[in-house]
Amino acid sequence: MTLYTNMPLELVLEGMQQERPPLIETIVDGVRLQLEPVTPGVGKIVRLLHGSLNDYLRPELMPGQLLAYGNFTDNATNRS
């Protein structure tokens, strides 16, 4: 792999070796999302996995937004 950057390599690769928490996959309003757990029942949206094109434009589904997923656990599965 070749990495071209003008930033110091230590900054670019910082945190790369840290283990990440398992991601949660859930369906909200017909949109399949991948969440990173923040607190019990609340997750930060990592990415949209499946939805209509208009779903990608919805501000409440932007990556980084917090989402309560406690009510949606029957559709959720853990992914590593």
Domain boundaries, the chain: 20-79
Instruction: pLDDT tens for the chain, 80 residues: list them.
Output: 788 899 998 898 888 888 877 999 999 989 999 999 999 989 999 999 999 999 999 999 999 999 998 754 444 455 54
Distances (CA, A) of 21 to 1, 38, 52, 79: 25, 10, 28, 10
pLDDT attached to residue 74: 44
Q: How far apart are CA 75 and CA 22, in angstroms?
A: 16
pLDDT attached to residue 79: 52
Q: What is the pTM of this model?
A: 0.66
